[in-house]
Amino acid sequence: MFDIIDGVPLHPLFLHVPLVLIPLTALLTLAFLVPRWRWWLRWPTAVLAVVAAAATYATVQSGEKLRERIGASGEIGAAIDVHETWGRRLLIAAVVLAVLAVIAALVATRTAGTAATVAAVLLAISGVVAAWITYETGDRGSRAVWCPTGVSSGEVASLEECLRT
């Protein structure tokens, strides 16, 4: 299910959804800190976070299938291992973000004051953390894909240098 479609691996297709939705959700979580905006942002933020978590799950699953298909080893295999570890962290962060977004939406709907403020702060923290992990995951994945190309074209001195930068 998460492998290929018409010969194209799904992972590079799926990954664009969390890559866009998680930082967008993170921006909404920061806006959620403004008390008068919470009422309007509560359900769009929650829905976006849940969709982002589902997309992250699909991306992780398709990444595992792609890993099985290509069977990389050596430096590239090690780089993919690191990317895969960050991908799992991202899935956890996306699920935490989704759960907190739903909780914050419910709290903002039913109450105000301290509970809503605490929920908004926790939501904003989880949004920023998820966005950072999204960046780290994507950076490591793109290096695993593009560093060999840089070495073969002469733009990068060594594969090790590119992967560690």
What is the pLDDT at residue 152?
78
* pLDDT tens, N- to C-terminus, the chain (165 residues): 778 888 889 999 999 999 999 999 999 999 999 999 999 999 999 999 999 999 999 999 999 999 888 887 888 888 999 999 999 999 999 999 999 999 999 999 877 789 999 999 999 999 999 999 999 999 999 988 888 877 778 787 777 878 776
The total of other beta-carbon atoms located within 10 Å of residue 77's CB is 13
Q: What span, in angstroms and rounded, lies between the C-alpha atoms of 26 and 34?
A: 14
What is the pLDDT at residue 165?
61
What is the pLDDT at residue 149?
79
- Show the 3-state SS of the chain: CCCEECCEECHHHHCHHHHHHHHHHHHHHHHCCCHHHHHHHHHHHHHHHHHHHHHHHHHHHHHHHHHHHHCCCHHHHHHHHHHHHHHHHHHHHHHHHHHHHHHHHHHHHHCCCHHHHHHHHHHHHHHHHHHHHHHHHHHHHHHHHHHHHHHHHCCCCCHHHHHHC
Query: The tokens of 161 are what?
Result: 């240098």
What is the pLDDT at residue 71?
81
